[in-house]
């Protein structure tokens, strides 16, 4: 069965790949992903804010004690031997590129214009074949309007596109007022693809200790419909690569994603739960389903259930439930 | 002469740079001030820097200097070029091996940052007492007196040694040279290759022990052979001085720097000559030049090669016109005819006369004097009176200079105004806080000026002995000639005060020369700052006509996200107004340095520093100085008026940085000092302090438990006691039954708190409507200071609750008065809460033997010390002997106490007929476990004393003297992991094995904290530490298991942040256990690299991840048919990664090599699981005890409980 697809200009044998996750921190797991047949490797996100905070904290906690006492010029080995920049991330890109023969997609979350640009350039230089800009951001500032948020992101995408030669995807959250419009403007700004959607850490409350705890719950198939809706809405109407991310746990989940228009299907939770080899099982399941249902190729079903082609587009557009009785056309 | 690279480095690096490149094996042990030589070598080895033969030296940290010298001896014998670095007590520990190394004529050059030997007190500073203790060994002793010489002599010393086969000890003064930063000419690898000849190296190798051509060394010899064999080496010693001079000559031909065994400087027809060795020669030479220019016939003879001492070279180096000589020794040899160099000079002159080689018609008069002990200042003003003394008809010998000796009247009078520093040397003095980065910035400035201009540069840094809120004073000189001024600046053309509050404590402007520039970091603008200056400061600004600049550096630092780091800002201001470099060039260089320094730490840090540089200039303002003094207030008194006389006369002077002015009579003769002096030093270093909300508080006392400085304290009092309380004093009803109806108090010591926030983090009580608000929150200190200080004084005046009434648990323990308070330990220290707890529980009957390390420094470093006494005058008796011997030292306490108690009991029995059985019986037999028991026993002792007064028996006064020994004493051996796991392990093991009633408290920071984070055998797997930069490969030694294996030792592993109740239990059990006890206490530390406020949270993670399991092993349980081991923490349940990733020591490894970190992580988890499994099995083991009626805890001979 021909499962081939094109995502971000990369010709891939099939759409399945690990999403941005710590799976890639371990070269052994990366090799197992290759053995399982992953179409590409997506790096975990490089978080500029985290890097900056660690740099400042380390300088604060380590340097603050340097030259402070007669008996000890410092209390830890010289920092020259350890790097607080993105070096280990970039090094891992190089290692993975050496270890496996797969396209590699970098992933970046910046907070400053300089950060987005510098790190994007460095990721490209380290050998990434494409880059995912992970707009992992909550608009919590009451003084910042939706327009300002979007403009900021659009300018950043435009600037990164000027900086790097490799294709650039934007990974979004679903929390935009006019996501379809924003998606179009992102593509106009130069984005080569959109990844729907990133998942935020969700707060929880410890009612005994009166503390907020953050936890990242693994996804399940229940999270898929939100992705399916927006894939369907964007697919075919906006000329760009689309990827589904979040909620793909079974071959049927993957098939749904492709049907709604995903050129690539990213999985994290399922692989964390079942191991890298699980990707191979999904791929096998997809191929078998296509064969069973006598599809010619995966391409045949790509976008088949999007807003434009689906027999019932209202299923995607209507936000509320309507009685069948009320569904009539004058 | 070829042009060489000019570098700006300190003396340690100068010596280590050559030593590293010329050796194959480097075995060391950290000790101040030589530690950096080993650390640098380790760093270079980690970076795979080769020596001149292309190989990477093996740098090995041993368990002690004794161990290091053994490894050195072995490596030499097996043919490796080998070196070591050490100081002070470390050098003493090497002496046994040094005799062997010399006796076997090994080519070897070691490098010593010479440091004071501990006598009446420890001192980390520099003098010659350690190297002088080696003069008899048979080593060549080569002395360098500047950073350049430390570099050059490191090479000459090795060359001379390899060629002569006499091992060499190359030394330079600790701190004065080891830590002085100077611009020097670097010796290239080619230079070194040129000097170190291959044939010497080959000869060294040929002498190696090898089975390919076996020989035997280390024989035992009898009277028939030993003496002659000992004499066989003599020709080598005779040849040695000539060889040294030849190597100095070869060196001069190569580099242009000419040295002699004895270098003379001064008038060729000098009549008065000073003979001196080391860095003190610098100011003598300056003074000689100044006096010569004024027609005085004086000179100085610098001793380079002290051993073997060449009489011929010595006498020929002196001008034949010499009529009188003053020999200056930087050591004291009590009871000797004179100090060593002095005696050698006299012997040399006599020897020269007797052998007919003297050049003198009449031998010069020779006097000797002491100077500069423990880095005591030695400057031209102190040189001048020595020359003056030599002019006298009958000059005084055995004098001292640099101090006022009003006891033995040995001191020469010094004119404090005598100042001969030339005007073309720029001098800057900078007052900073350890944590604000002043020293680092100044080191950068020296580098910038040294490397960007033709100027020579020198930097020297003075530190105080506190760890939290430490003050640093940087002395920087820049000038057109090499700088020989190895003394502090007194007249600076630039004075910077980086902390406004220092103006209240220190006479900062004392250092300012007339017309100098004064830069002040103040929270006030240029128009308002004047009115906030103390009167003395205003007066000095006007009198000296200072150009006064001000910047609000903390505000700018805050705006640029730099927190409390104002170093870059202040450095920029220095360059902007001092004029040492064109402003733009200076700014460019500062930015370049920032990029180099912080580039690897991340661009964020670089960016913020760049911004700080730019913002500094915009916020720097010159102050228009008014024409007259306007301040009404002078500096506040340093100590309260009610402080004891000794504190007023002595301690306060030292606190004001004026201790140099105290005369000999001010000091105790035998190192005995009063306790409880930190309470007089109100340091006010916290920016914010905790504020109590009694409404929310649940009265758990956890805040007091974790406080490292005893600066937050609870109390319970009768409501009536609160009458007359200050208006803002808070109290609330006590919750619970023990003190029902009484008031509960929680009070902060606002001026002693360091602001670490451990108390706030640990506080479990939150406001239900606004959980961000806890029962204690941090609030800015200044507005609270006055009122809270009054509240605290009132609080301290209230009676403590009756100890008998207190239930000893975590809450109750904190109602006991801490007898360890306001130490100089780091803010958030993880050790001091244990020490404090010890004093709360047993302080009134405790003797503490404290191993050298952090705990001995915050426990006993002057000017003020934290151990104190209660209202009855009882409190911990504390002493520090050495690093390696602490267990034995404390064991000695036990032996003495047991002996004295035995004697008291014996006398008591003898006097029983007169005293009556009702008193004697309970005195001898009652148990002493609970607070009630002790109170009763003390009452009995008081009754005994009063009865004894009426008994006419010679035994009565003796018993009266010994009666207090009838109250059981608690002996504690306190120290860090460096002591317990490494250098003192043998002693600790032996003492524990002896079965006596001593309690060892190991404050386990898992690293040598005091000397700067070198690995110990307590360093955990995967942690990066000095000498284990890539992460420690070996798991931490299980010291507890070692002790448990004996079976008779009480062992506990505790972590107060994880389970404070278990900590309190363990302390009680250890004390009550009638045999040896060992408590291994998790102590978070700045060397772990995170915010100490999170210390208790990390402790929790350490325990829950199984990395630090908690347990108590109590041999008493065997008799009860129970397993002696009781696990107090469960199986590992949280991730080791969560624990490890929070600390820089582990995180460094991940950032350098993520795969390696992952391997460590896996291993850490496996170790934790395995260890837990082992403990779990042990905790299930019941030990058969068929003779349980007779077999109690071991009862060693001579002990009576």
Question: Is the entire prediction scored with pTM above 0.90?
Answer: yes
| Nearest by CB: B563 against A60, A76, A92 | A60
Chain B, window 1047-1076: residues with a beta carbon less than 8 angstroms from a chain A beta carbon: none
List pLDDT tens digits, range A148-176: 999 999 999 999 999 999 999 999 999 99
Q: What is the pLDDT of residue A324?
A: 53
Per the annotation, the verdict on B65 as an active-site residue is yes
Q: What is the pLDDT of residue A189?
A: 96
Average pLDDT over every residue of B608-616: 93
In this structure, are B945 and B978 located in the same domain?
no
Considering the domain architecture, whether residues B363 and B512 belong to the same structural domain is answered as no
Statement: residue A329 has pLDDT above 60 = no
Q: Using CA coordinates, name the residue in chain B closest to A90.
A: B1151
**Looking at the complex, does the CB of residue B1158 fall below 8 Å from at least one CB of chain A?**
yes
The ipTM (two decimal places) reads: 0.93
**Are B438 and B293 members of one domain?**
no
Structure-token pair, residue B426: 């720029």
Tell me the C-alpha distance between B1188 and B1178, whole Å. Answer: 20
What is the DSSP secondary structure assignment for residue B435, as one 8-state letter? Answer: G
B63/B69 Cα distance (integer angstroms): 11
Residues 193-222, chain A, touching B (beta carbon < 8 A): 210-211
State the Cα–Cα distance between residues A240 and B957, nearest whole angstrom.
102
Out of A64, A71, A92, name the one closest to residue B32 (CB).
Answer: A71
Residue B938 sits in the same domain as residue B1063: no
Torsion of CA B906, B909, B911, B915, to 10 degrees: 140
Q: φ and ψ at A228, to 5 degrees?
A: -60, -45
Name the residue of chain A whose CA is nearest to B773's CA: A210
A 63-82 → B contacts, CB under 8 A:
63-82
Nearest residue of chain A to residue B432 (CA atoms): A68
B115 is catalytic: yes
Minimal Cβ distance to B1154: which of A65, A77, A92: A92
In degrees, rounded to 5, the angle at the alpha carbon of residue A74 between the alpha carbons of residues B494 and B617 is 35
Same domain membership, residue B485 and residue B581: yes
Task: Please state the separation of Cα B666 from the chain's center in Å.
Answer: 24
Sign of CA dihedral A78, A84, A88, A93: negative
Q: Which two tokens stand for residue B657?
A: 């940085």
Residues B876 and B892 placed together within one structural domain of the fold: no
d(CA A43, CA A62): 30
**What pLDDT is recorded for position B1198?**
43
In angstroms, the separation between the Cα of residue A304 and the nearest Cα of chain B is: 44
Dist. CA B753–CA B708, nearest whole Å: 9
Q: How far is B1085 from chain A (nearest CA, A)?
A: 10
Q: Which residue of B has its CA nearest to A83?
A: B600
Mutant choice from B1148, B1153, B1157 vs A, greatest count of A C-beta within 10 A: B1148
Residue of B nearest to A72 (CA): B1012
Pair (B876, B893) in one structural domain: no
Q: For the segment B439-476, what is each residue's pLDDT rounded down to a tens digit? A: 999 999 999 998 888 999 999 999 988 998 889 999 99
Give mean pLDDT, residues A197-212.
87
Instruction: Give the Cα separation of A190 and A193 in Å (integer).
Output: 9
What is d(CA B1157, CA B799) in angstroms, rounded to the nearest whole number? 54
User: Are residues B614 and B704 both part of a single domain?
Assistant: no
3-state DSSP helix/strand/coil % of chain B, to nearest 5: 40, 15, 40
Query: Which of these is catalytic: B65, B185, B751, B1069?
Result: B65
Residue A87 has pLDDT above 90, yes or no: no
Assess B157–A contact: CB distance below 8 Å, yes or no: no
The share of chain B scoring above pLDDT 90, in percent, equals: 93
In a domain, B502, yes or no: yes
A114 touches chain B (CB under 8 A): yes
- Local structure of residue A22 (DSSP, 8 states): G
Element (H, E) at B820: none
Mean pLDDT of chain B: 95
Beta strand pairing status for B471-479 and B492-497? Answer: unpaired
User: Cα separation of B855 and B862, whole Å?
Assistant: 13
Query: Band of the pLDDT at A201, cuts 50, 70, 90?
Result: confident
Q: For position B61, which CATH number holds?
A: 3.40.50.970
Based on the domain organization, do B43 and B186 belong to the same domain?
yes
C-alpha span between B181 and B184 (Å, rounded): 9
Does the active-site annotation cover B97? no
Q: Which CATH class is domain A5-49+85-326?
A: alpha beta
> Within its chain, how far is the Cα of B931 from the centroid?
36
Asked if B140 and B202 sit in the same domain, the reply is yes
Contact (CB, 8 A) for A160 and A107? no
What is the rounded CA–CA span in Å between residue B74 and residue B90?
Answer: 18
For residue B1182, the 8-state DSSP code is P
CB interface of B with A, residues 342-361, below 8 Å: none
Separation between Cα atoms, residue B414 and residue B411, nearest integer Å:
9
Question: What pLDDT score does A330 carry?
Answer: 42
Alpha carbons B1103 and B1139: distance in angstroms, whole number: 9
Q: Are B1061 and B814 in contact (CB under 8 A)?
A: no
Interface membership of B883 toward A (CB under 8 Å): no
Q: DSSP assignment of B651-714, as one string?
A: IHHHHTT-GGG--GGGS-SSS---S--GGG------SEEEEE-TTT-----HHHHH-TTS-EEE
* Residue A60 with chain B: CB contacts under 8 Å: 563, 565, 1091
Chain A residue numbers with beta carbons less than 8 Å from the beta carbon of B1032 are none
Collect all residues with Cβ–Cβ distance below 8 Å to B1053 and sequence separation of at least 6. B1040, B1079, B1080, B1082, B1108, B1109, B1110, B1111
Q: What is the bridge-based pairing of β-strands B272-277 and B324-329?
A: parallel
**Residues pairing with B1010 in the sheet:** none
Residues paired with B844 in a beta bridge: none
Q: How far is B156 from chain A (nearest CA, A)?
A: 28
Q: What is the pLDDT of residue A327?
A: 52
In the 3-class helix/strand/coil scheme, how is B502-521 assigned residue by residue? HHHHCCHHHHEEEEEEEEEE
B1150/A75 Cβ within 8 A: no
Burial category of B790 from C-beta neighbours within 10 Å (exposed 0-12, middle 13-18, buried 19 and up): middle
Interface subset of B 402-441, CB within 8 angstroms of A: 434-435, 437-440
**Per-residue pLDDT, B1185:** 75
> A174, A246 in Cβ contact below 8 A?
no
Give the A:B interface size as CB pairs under 8 Å.
165
Q: What is the DSSP letter of B801?
A: P
As a three-state string, the secondary structure of B718-734 is CHHHHCCCCCCCCCEEC
Q: Is A75 in Cβ contact with B1144 (below 8 Å)?
A: no
Q: What is the mean pLDDT of chain A?
A: 90
The whole-angstrom distance between B637's CA and the closest CA on chain A is 26
- Structure token digits, residue A235: 């697919």
Cα B940 to Cα B935: distance, rounded to the nearest angstrom: 9
A88 touches chain B (CB under 8 A): yes
Same domain, B743 and B841: yes
Mean pLDDT of B592-609: 85
The answer to whether B935 and B994 have CB atoms below 8 angstroms apart is no
Among B846, B880, B914, identify where a domain stops. Answer: B880
| Contact (Cβ atoms closer than 8 angstroms) between residue B493 and residue B479 | no
Hey, are the CB atoms on B1152 and A114 less than 8 Å from each other? no
Of B440, B564, B1149, the CB nearest to A66: B440
pLDDT in tens, B738-784: 899 999 999 999 999 999 999 999 999 999 999 999 999 999 999 99
B1034 CB neighbour count, 10 Å cutoff: 11
Residues B463, A84: C-beta atoms closer than 8 Å: no
Residue of A nearest to B1085 (CA): A75
A56 touching chain B per CB within 8 A? yes
Contact call for residues B485 and B456 (beta carbons, < 8 A): no
Where do the domains of chain A lie?
5-49+85-326
Kind plus residue range of the DSSP H or E element containing B276: strand B272-277
Q: Confidence class of residue A61 from pLDDT cuts 50, 70 and 90?
A: confident
- Phi first, then psi, for residue B1110 (nearest 5°) are -105, 140
Q: Which of B8, B12, B23, B32 is catalytic?
A: B32
Q: Quick one: pLDDT at residue B1197?
A: 43
Cβ distance of A75 and B1087 shorter than 8 Å: yes
Paired tokens of A155? 């300018």
What pLDDT, on a 0 to 100 scale, did the predictor assign at position A62? Answer: 83
Q: How far apart are the first and last CA of chain A?
A: 44
Answer yes or no: are the C-beta atoms of B822 and B679 closer than 8 Å: yes
Q: Which of A61, A75, A81 sits opposite B1091 (nearest CB)?
A: A61
Q: What is the sign, positive or negative, of the torsion defined by CA atoms of B1003, B1009, B1015, B1019?
A: positive
Could you tell me the pLDDT band of residue A121, with boundaries at 50, 70 and 90? very high
Per-residue model confidence (pLDDT) at position B1201: 38
Which of B868, B1010, B1011, B1199 is labelled catalytic?
B1010
A94 touches chain B (CB under 8 A): no
In a mutational test of the B interface, the residue from A28, A51, A53, A68 whose CB has the highest number of chain B CBs within 10 Å is A68
- Is residue B416 a part of any domain in this protein? no
In degrees rounded to 5, what are phi and psi of residue B1146?
A: -90, -40
| Closest CA of chain A from B721, distance in Å | 36
Q: What is the dihedral of CA B675, B679, B685, B687, to 10 degrees?
A: 140
What is the CATH number for B487? 3.40.920.10
Query: Which residues, numbered 853 to 872 in chain B, qualify as contacts with chain A under a Cβ-Cβ cut-off of 8 Å?
Result: 857
Three-class SS state of A171: strand
pLDDT tens for B998-1011 read: 999 999 999 999 99
| B720, B721, B726, B732: CA torsion to nearest 10 | -70
B600 to A78: CB separation less than 8 angstroms, yes or no = no
Say yes or no: B916 and B1051 in one domain.
no
In this complex, is the C-beta atom of A92 within 8 Å of any C-beta atom belonging to chain B?
Answer: yes
Please tell me the predicted confidence (pLDDT) of residue A326. Answer: 53
* Per-residue 3-state assignment (H helix, E strand, C coil) for A123-150: HHHCCCCEEEEECCCCCCCCCCCHHHHH
Answer whether B315's CB lies under 8 Å from B352's CB.
yes
In which order are the strands placed within the sheet that holds B168-173?
Answer: B85-86, B109-114, B168-173, B140-143, B305-307
Residue B976 has pLDDT above 80, yes or no: yes
Domain that holds residue B167: 6-211+226-254
Nearest to B431 by CA among B520, B349, B331, B363: B520
Based on the structure, what is the number of domains in chain B? 7
Closest CB from B607, B1011, B1152 relative to A72: B1011
pLDDT band (50, 70, 90) for residue A111: confident
Closest CA in chain B for residue A78: B43
* B208-265 per-position pLDDT tens digit: 999 999 999 999 999 999 999 999 999 999 999 999 999 999 999 999 999 999 999 9
């Amino acid at each position: 069965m021909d499962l081939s697809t094109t995502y971000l200009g990369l010709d891939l044998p099939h759409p399945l790949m690990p999403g941005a996750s710590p799976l890639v921190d371990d070269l052994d797991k990366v090799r197992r992903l290759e053995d399982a047949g992953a179409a590409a490797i997506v790096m975990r996100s490089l978080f500029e804010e985290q890097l900056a905070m660690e740099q400042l904290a380390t300088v604060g906690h380590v340097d603050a004690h340097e030259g402070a006492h007669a008996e000890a010029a410092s209390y830890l080995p010289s920092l020259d031997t350890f790097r607080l920049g993105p070096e280990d991330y970039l090094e891992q890109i190089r290692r993975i590129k050496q270890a496996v023969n797969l396209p590699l997609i970098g992933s970046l979350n910046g907070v400053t214009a300089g950060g987005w640009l510098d790190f994007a350039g460095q990721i490209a230089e380290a050998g990434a074949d494409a880059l995912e800009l992970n707009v992992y951001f909550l608009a919590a500032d009451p003084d910042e309007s939706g327009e300002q948020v979007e403009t900021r992101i659009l300018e950043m995408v435009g600037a990164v596109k000027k900086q790097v030669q490799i294709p650039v995807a934007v990974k979004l959250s679903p929390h935009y007022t006019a996501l379809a419009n924003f998606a179009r403007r992102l593509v106009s700004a130069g984005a080569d693809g959109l990844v729907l959607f990133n998942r935020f850490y969700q707060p929880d409350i410890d009612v005994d200790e009166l503390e907020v705890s953050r936890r990242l719950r693994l996804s399940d198939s229940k999270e898929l419909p939100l992705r399916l809706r927006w894939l369907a809405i964007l697919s075919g109407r906006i000329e760009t690569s689309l990827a589904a991310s979040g909620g793909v746990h079974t071959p049927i989940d993957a098939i749904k994603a492709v049907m709604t228009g995903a050129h690539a299907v990213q999985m994290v939770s399922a692989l964390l739960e079942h191991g890298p080899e699980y990707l191979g099982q999904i791929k096998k399941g997809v191929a078998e389903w296509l064969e069973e249902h006598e599809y010619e190729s995966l391409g045949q079903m790509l976008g088949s259930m999007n807003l434009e082609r689906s027999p019932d587009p209202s299923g995607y557009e209507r936000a509320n439930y309507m009685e069948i009785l009320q569904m009539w056309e004058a | 002469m070829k042009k060489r690279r000019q570098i700006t480095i300190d003396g340690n690096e100068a010596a280590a740079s050559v030593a590293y490149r010329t050796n194959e094996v480097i075995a060391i042990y950290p000790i101040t001030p030589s530690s950096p030589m080993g650390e640098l070598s380790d760093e270079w080895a980690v970076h795979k820097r080769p020596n001149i033969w292309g190989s990477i030296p093996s740098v090995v940290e041993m368990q002690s200097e004794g161990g290091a010298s053994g490894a050195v001896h072995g490596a030499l014998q097996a043919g490796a070029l080998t070196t070591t670095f050490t100081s002070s007590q470390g050098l003493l520990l090497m002496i046994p091996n040094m005799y062997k190394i010399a006796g076997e004529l090994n080519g070897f050059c070691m490098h010593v940052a010479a440091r004071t030997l501990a006598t009446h007190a420890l001192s980390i500073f520099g003098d010659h007492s350690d190297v002088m203790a080696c003069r008899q060994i048979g080593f060549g002793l080569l002395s360098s007196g500047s950073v350049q010489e430390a570099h050059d002599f490191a090479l000459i010393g090795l060359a001379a040694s390899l060629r002569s086969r006499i091992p060499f000890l190359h030394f330079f003064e600790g701190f004065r040279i080891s830590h002085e930063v100077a611009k020097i000419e670097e010796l290239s690898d080619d230079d070194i290759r040129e000097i170190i000849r291959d044939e010497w190296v080959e000869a060294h190798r040929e002498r190696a022990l090898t089975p390919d051509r076996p020989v035997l060394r280390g024989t035992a010899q009898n009277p028939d052979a030993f003496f002659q064999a000992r004499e066989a080496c003599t020709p080598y010693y005779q040849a040695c001085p000539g060889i040294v001079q030849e190597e100095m000559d070869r060196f001069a031909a190569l580099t242009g720097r000419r040295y002699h065994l004895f270098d003379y400087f001064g008038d060729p027809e000098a009549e008065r000559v000073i003979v001196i060795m080391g860095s003190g020669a610098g100011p003598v030479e300056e003074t000689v030049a100044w006096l010569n220019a004024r027609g005085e016939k004086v000179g100085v003879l610098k001793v380079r090669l002290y051993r073997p001492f060449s009489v011929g070279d010595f006498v020929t180096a002196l001008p034949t016109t010499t009529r009188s000589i003053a020999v200056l020794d930087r050591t004291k040899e009590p009871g000797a005819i004179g100090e060593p160099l002095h005696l050698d000079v006299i012997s040399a002159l006599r020897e020269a006369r007797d052998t007919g080689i003297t050049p003198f018609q009449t031998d010069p008069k020779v006097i000797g004097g002491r100077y500069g002990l423990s880095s005591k200042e030695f400057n031209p003003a102190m040189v001048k009176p020595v020359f003056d003394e030599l002019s006298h008809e009958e000059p005084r010998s055995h004098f001292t200079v640099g101090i006022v000796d009003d006891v033995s009247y040995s001191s020469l009078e010094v004119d404090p105004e005598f100042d001969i520093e030339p005007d073309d040397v720029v001098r800057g003095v900078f007052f900073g806080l350890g944590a604000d980065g002043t020293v680092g910035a100044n080191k950068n400035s020296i580098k910038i000026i040294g490397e960007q201009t033709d100027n020579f540069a020198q930097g020297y840094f003075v530190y105080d002995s506190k760890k939290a809120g430490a003050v640093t004073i940087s002395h920087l000189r820049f000038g057109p000639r090499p700088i020989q001024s190895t003394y502090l600046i007194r007249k600076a053309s630039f004075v910077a005060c980086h902390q406004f509050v220092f103006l209240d404590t220190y006479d900062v402007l004392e250092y300012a020369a007339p017309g100098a520039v004064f830069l002040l970091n103040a929270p006030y603008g240029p128009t308002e700052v004047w009115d906030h200056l103390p009167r003395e400061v205003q007066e000095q600004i006007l009198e000296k006509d200072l150009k006064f600049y001000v910047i609000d550096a903390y505000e700018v630092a805050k705006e640029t996200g730099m927190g409390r780091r104002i170093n870059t800002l202040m450095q920029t201001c220095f360059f902007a107004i001092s004029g040492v470099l064109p402003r733009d060039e200076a700014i460019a260089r500062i930015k370049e340095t920032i990029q180099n320094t912080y580039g690897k730490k991340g661009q964020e840090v670089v960016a913020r520093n760049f911004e700080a540089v730019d913002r500094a200039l915009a916020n720097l303002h010159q102050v228009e100085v008014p024409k007259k003094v306007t301040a009404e207030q002078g500096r506040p008194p340093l100590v309260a008026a009610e402080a004891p006389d000794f504190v007023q006369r002595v301690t306060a002077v030292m606190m004001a940085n004026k201790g140099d002015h105290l005369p000999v009579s001010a000091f105790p003769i035998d190192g005995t000092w009063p306790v409880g002096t930190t309470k007089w030093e109100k340091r006010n270093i916290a920016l914010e302090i905790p504020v109590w909300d009694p409404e929310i508080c649940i009265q758990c006392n956890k805040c007091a438990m974790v406080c490292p400085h005893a600066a937050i304290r609870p109390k319970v009092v009768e409501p009536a006691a609160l009458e007359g309380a200050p208006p803002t004093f808070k109290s609330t009803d006590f919750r619970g039954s023990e003190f029902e109806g009484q008031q509960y108090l929680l009070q902060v010591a606002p001026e002693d708190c360091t602001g670490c926030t451990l108390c706030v983090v640990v506080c479990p009580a939150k406001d239900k409507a606004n959980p961000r608000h806890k029962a204690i929150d941090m609030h800015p200190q200044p507005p609270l200071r006055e009122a809270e200080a009054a509240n605290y004084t009132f609080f301290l005046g209230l009676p403590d609750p009756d100890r008998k009434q207190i239930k000893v648990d975590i809450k109750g323990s904190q109602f006991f008065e801490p007898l360890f308070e306001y130490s100089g330990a780091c803010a958030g220290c993880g050790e001091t809460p244990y020490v404090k707890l010890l004093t709360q529980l047993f302080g009134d009957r405790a003797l503490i033997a404290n191993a050298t390390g952090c705990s001995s420094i915050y426990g006993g470093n002057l000017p003020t010390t934290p151990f104190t006494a209660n209202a009855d005058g009882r409190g911990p008796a504390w002493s520090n002997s050495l690093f390696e011997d602490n267990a034995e030292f404390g064991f000695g306490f036990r032996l003495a106490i047991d002996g004295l108690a035995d004697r008291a009991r014996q006398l008591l029995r003898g006097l029983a007929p007169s005293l009556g059985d009702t008193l004697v019986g309970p005195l001898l037999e009652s148990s002493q476990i609970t607070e009630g028991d002790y109170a009763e026993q003390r009452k009995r002792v008081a009754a005994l004393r009063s009865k004894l007064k009426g008994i006419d028996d010679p035994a009565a006064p003796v018993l009266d003297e010994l009666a207090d020994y009838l109250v059981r004493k608690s002996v504690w051996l306190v120290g860090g992991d460096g002591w317990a796991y490494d250098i003192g392990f043998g002693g600790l093991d032996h003492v524990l094995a002896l079965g006596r009633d001593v309690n060892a408290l190991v404050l386990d920071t898992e690293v040598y904290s005091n000397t700067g984070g070198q690995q110990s055998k307590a360093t955990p797997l995967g942690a990066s530490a000095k000498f284990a930069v890539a992460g420690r490969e070996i798991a931490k030694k299980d010291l507890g298991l070692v002790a448990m294996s004996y079976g008779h030792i009480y062992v506990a592993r505790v972590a107060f942040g994880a389970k404070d109740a278990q900590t309190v239990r363990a302390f009680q059990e250890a004390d009550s256990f009638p045999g040896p006890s060992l408590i291994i206490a998790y102590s978070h530390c700045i060397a772990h690299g995170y915010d100490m406020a999170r210390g208790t949270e990390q402790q929790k993670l350490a325990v829950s991840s199984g990395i630090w399991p908690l347990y108590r092993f109590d041999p008493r349980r065997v008799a009860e048919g129970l397993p002696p081991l009781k696990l107090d923490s469960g199986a590992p349940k949280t991730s080791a990664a969560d624990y490890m990733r929070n600390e820089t020591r582990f995180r460094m490894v991940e950032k350098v090599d993520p795969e390696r970190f992952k391997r460590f992580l896996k291993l850490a988890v496996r170790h934790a699981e395995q260890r837990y499994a082992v403990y779990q099995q042990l905790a299930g083991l019941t030990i058969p005890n068929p003779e349980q009626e007779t077999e109690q805890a071991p009862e060693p001979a001579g002990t009576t409980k």
